[in-house]
Structure 1
Amino acid sequence: MSDRLLVGTRKGLFRIERGEGERWVIAKTWFLGDPVSAVLAEPGGARLHAALELGHFGVKMQRSEDGGETWSQAASPTFPLKPEGLEDKDPMRGVDVPWSTQLIWTLECGAPGEIWCGVIPGALFRSTDGGESWQLSRALWDEPRRKQWMGGGYDFSGIHSILVDPRDPLHVTVGVSTGGVWTTRDAGGSWELIGSGLRAEYLPEAMAGDPLAQDAHRIVQCPAHPDRLWMQHHNGIFVSDDGGAIWRELTDVPPSSFGFAVAVHPSDPDTAWFVPATKDEKRFPVDAHLVVTRTRDGGVHFEVLDRGLPTEPAYDLVYRHALECSRDGLRLAFGSTTGSLWVSEDRGDSWQNISRHLPPILCVRFAE
C-alpha cells in the first residue's frame, strides 16, 4: 500500500504520510526555502534523490540512503565545455543555448543502479552508479536536429518525460518541450525521432504534423503494457499503442484537452487521468472549476471528477510532474500552484484535501 508521498515545492521537500484515523499529515520536511524541482524514490524506498534549484548557487543534487533521515550532496549532471566557435542558438530567440544545467526537470529509474535525468537546456544524462556520477547522452545532444528545439514554458528546451521500457532497460523514450518524442534502443547510443500522428495546431497546416515541432507537455507509460503511452500535448491529448511511433488524437474531451499533467493506471492501460485548464495565456481551470478528468476505455469517453474538490472559484494549475498514481493503482495525488494537495483513495471518484498552505507544488511522488 502506498501510504507515503514526497512533495517537491518552491520552498522545500515534504513527506506526507497516512497516519492514524486514515488522516494524511506532514511527517517530515527537508530543504526548507529551497526549490525542489524533481524527486525520485528508488524501489524499496530507502534511497531517495532530490534536485534543488539554488539560483546563483546553481543546481544541486541531494541523496539519502535511509529514507530521508539523513542527506548528503551528490554529483550533479554537468555539461562538457562548449567547443570554441561552435554556434548553438535557440531558434526562436536567437540567444546562445547555455552548456550548463539550468534545471533538473525529471528523474527516473532504469536498470538496477541506473538513473536517467532530463534537464533544461534539452539534454539527457545517465548514471549507472546510483547517482555517483553522470554521463551526458552525447548522441542526443550532438544530434543536428537538437538545434531546432525551442523553449516551451521555459526559455530553453528541456526533457521532462523519460520512459524506460520495463521489458528492456536499453529502450528509453523521452519527451522534449519543444522538440518532439525521441527513442533509443541502445541506452542512448543512437536516437530516432518518432511521433507520427501528432499535430501542432500552433503551426501552419503544412507544418503541423512535423514530429520535430511537437510540444509534448508530459508522456507516461503503462508499466504492465509498455507499448501504451499517454500524452498531454500543448494542444490536445494523444494516445499510442506502439510505444510512441504512431499517435491518435482524442477529441471531444470535456471541459478542455489542454493541460500539463497526465497519469496512467499501472496495470490498466485504458485508464488515465488529466487535470484540464484553459490554454495558452490563461492557464487556470475552465470556468475556475477545478476538476480531474478520467478515461477508463482508452479515450473513447471521459468522466469529469470533482467530488471533494473546491466548490468555490479555484485558479489552481497543476504542473507536469504534480499528478501521480500509486504503483499499486489504488491511490492518486495531485498538487497545485496554490500549494494545495489532494489525495484520492478511490481512483479519482472522490478527493480529500491534505493541505491548502504548502508552497507552490512542482512534483508529487508516491514512495514505498
Structure 2
Amino acid sequence: MSRRIHVATRKGLLRFEPSGGGWHLARQDFLGEPVSMLLADPRDGHLYAALHLGHFGPKLWRSADAGASWEEIPAPAFPPVAEGEEGPSVEMIWCLEPGGADQPGTLWAGTISGGLFRSRDRGDSWQLVDSLWQRPERANWLGGGYDQPGIHSICVDPRDSRRLTLAVSCGGVWHSEDEGASWNHRTHGMYAAYMPPERAEEPDIQDPHRMVACPADPERLWVQHHNGIFVSADRGLNWREIPRAGPSTFGFAVAVHPTDPDCAWFVPAVKDECRVPADQRLRVTRTRDGGQSFDVLERGLPQQLCYDLVYRHGLDVDGSGQYLVMGSTTGHLWVSEDAGDSWELVAGNLPPIFAVRFG
C-alpha cells in the first residue's frame, strides 16, 4: 500500500504512512504553526501548505520532494491600494486546488475575505480573479463561521479545465465556463432556513458548507449546506434536497466516491450553537443510491460523550473509493479501509485537525 495521509492541524503538518498493518507518524513539519490547508498535487507530486498566522497573515510553502525540504513562496494577496486608503486583505487560505491535467502549474486558492486567486507558475505568483471580486452581488455575501465570507470549495471540471464551480460561505454557488472570466449563480433549488421565508431562496445568502464533484461524473455535485444536504445532476443548475440522512442532515464535511456519483459520505452533527455530533455519537452516513437511503456507520467510532466535530476539509476518500480518512476538532484521526463500514483510530492525541488528504 503506497498511500500517505497528510493532516493539517493547529500545531503543524503531519504525515502518516502505512506500517505493519497499521499507520505510523512518518513526518511532522511547521511544528507549532496552524496549517489551514494543504494540497498534494497529483499532477507533479508537489506539496503545498498554507499557514494561518493571525497578526502575521497567511503564509504559503511548497515542497518538490515529498516534504523533505520546503521553500516559502508568495501567498495570495490583494493588489495594493493608494496610500491612505484601506484595502481588503487575505485573512486565511481556505482552499487549494490544482488546475486541470492540461494546465501544469495552474493552482486555485479560495480565501477568507471572499477572494479567488489563480497561479500559473506553481505558486510563484498569484493574481486575484477580479471578475468575481467585482460582482455586485458580492456585497450581499455574509460571514459563516468567520466574520468574513470565504471560498472553501473549488471544483475544476476534468473534462474541460475552463469550467469552474465554487462554493462560498455565505455566498452561494458560482460557475464559470471561461476559466473565471465571467460568472453566474447556481443555487436554484437551495434555500436558507435561517432567513425570513421571503428571502430563503436568495442566491447570495446560501451557506454551502462544502461542495465536492464526482471525478468520473463531474456534472454530479454534492453539497453539505447549513440546513441540509443537496445534490445536483447538472453541475449546479438545479439542486435537489435530500430530506433524510440518518440522525441529522447538518454537518460540514462531504466526500464523494471517485467513480460512483451515487455514493457519498457525510458526518452528521447538531447545528448552530451546539456543534457536537448528533446524539454525542460519532457516525458517518453513506448513500449508495443518490440519496434515496443512507447507511449509518459507527463501528470503531466513539458512541457516547463524544465531542468530535469534523470540519469541512476533515474527510477524504482515496482514488479507489475504499479508503477514507477523517480528522476531528478534538485531535482524533480515523481511517476506514472498507468504504466506511468500520473505522480504525490512528491517533487520538493530536491538535485540532483542519484538513486531511490522501497523497
Deviations 1:16-40, CA, capped at 9 Å, x for gaps:
1111x21111100000100000000
Residue of structure 1 in register with 2:291 after alignment: 299
Deviations 1:208-232, CA, capped at 9 Å, x for gaps:
1112210000000000000000000
Letter in 2 for 1:69: A
Residue correspondences, number: 356
**Stretches of structure 1 lacking an aligned partner (at least 5 in a row):** 87-95
Give the C-alpha shift of residue 82 in structure 1: 4.1
Residue of structure 2 in register with 1:104 after alignment: 93
Letter in 2 for 1:317: L
Partners of 2:70 and 2:84 in 1: CA distance: 40
Letter in 2 for 1:23: G
Give the C-alpha shift of residue 13 in structure 1: 0.1
Deviations 1:84-111, CA, capped at 9 Å, x for gaps:
898xxxxxxxxx9x61110000100113
Give the C-alpha shift of residue 364 in structure 1: 0.3
Q: Within 5 Å, which residues of 2 pair with 1:1-368?
A: 3-19=3-19, 21-43=20-42, 46-82=45-81, 99-111=88-100, 112-367=104-359
Letter in 1 for 2:63: S
Give the C-alpha shift of residue 83 in structure 1: 6.0
SS of residue matched to 1:260: coil
Partners of 2:61 and 2:327 in 1: CA distance: 22
Alpha-carbon spacing, 1:2–1:272, altered in 2? closer, same or farther (3 Å):
farther
Give the C-alpha shift of residue 54 in structure 1: 1.3
Partners of 2:174 and 2:84 in 1: CA distance: 28
User: Normalising by structure 1, what TM-score?
Assistant: 0.94
Partners of 1:2 and 1:326 within 8 A in 2: no
SS of residue matched to 1:329: coil
Give the C-alpha shift of residue 195 in structure 1: 1.1
User: Normalising by structure 2, what TM-score?
Assistant: 0.97
Please identify, of 169-178 and 305-314, the stretch whose mean Cα deviation from structure 2 is larger: 305-314
Partners of 1:160 and 1:177 within 8 A in 2: yes
Please identify, of 305-314 and 157-166, the stretch whose mean Cα deviation from structure 2 is larger: 305-314
Partners of 1:2 and 1:366 within 8 A in 2: no
Partners of 1:351 and 1:2 in 2: CA distance: 19
Partners of 1:306 and 1:102 in 2: CA distance: 36
Give the C-alpha shift of residue 202 in structure 1: 0.7
C-alpha RMSD of the superposition:
1.4
Partners of 1:312 and 1:181 in 2: CA distance: 36
Alpha-carbon spacing, 1:85–1:139, altered in 2? closer, same or farther (3 Å):
farther
SS of residue matched to 1:276: coil
Partners of 1:2 and 1:331 within 8 A in 2: no
Give the C-alpha shift of residue 311 in structure 1: 3.2
Alpha-carbon spacing, 1:243–1:2, altered in 2? closer, same or farther (3 Å):
farther
Give the C-alpha shift of residue 352 in structure 1: 0.1
SS of residue matched to 2:201: coil
Please identify, of 308-317 and 124-133, the stretch whose mean Cα deviation from structure 2 is larger: 308-317
Give the C-alpha shift of residue 81 in structure 1: 2.6
Give the C-alpha shift of residue 75 in structure 1: 1.1
Overall identity of the aligned pairs, in %: 57
Partners of 1:2 and 1:327 within 8 A in 2: no
SS of residue matched to 1:321: coil
SS of residue matched to 2:267: strand
Partners of 1:173 and 1:181 within 8 A in 2: yes
Partners of 1:165 and 1:85 in 2: CA distance: 41
Partners of 2:317 and 2:324 within 8 A in 1: yes
Give the C-alpha shift of residue 190 in structure 1: 0.7
**Stretches of structure 2 lacking an aligned partner (at least 5 in a row):** none
Deviations 1:230-257, CA, capped at 9 Å, x for gaps:
0000000000000011000001222000
Partners of 1:248 and 1:58 in 2: CA distance: 39
Give the C-alpha shift of residue 326 in structure 1: 0.6
Alpha-carbon spacing, 1:174–1:250, altered in 2? closer, same or farther (3 Å):
same
Give the C-alpha shift of residue 328 in structure 1: 2.3
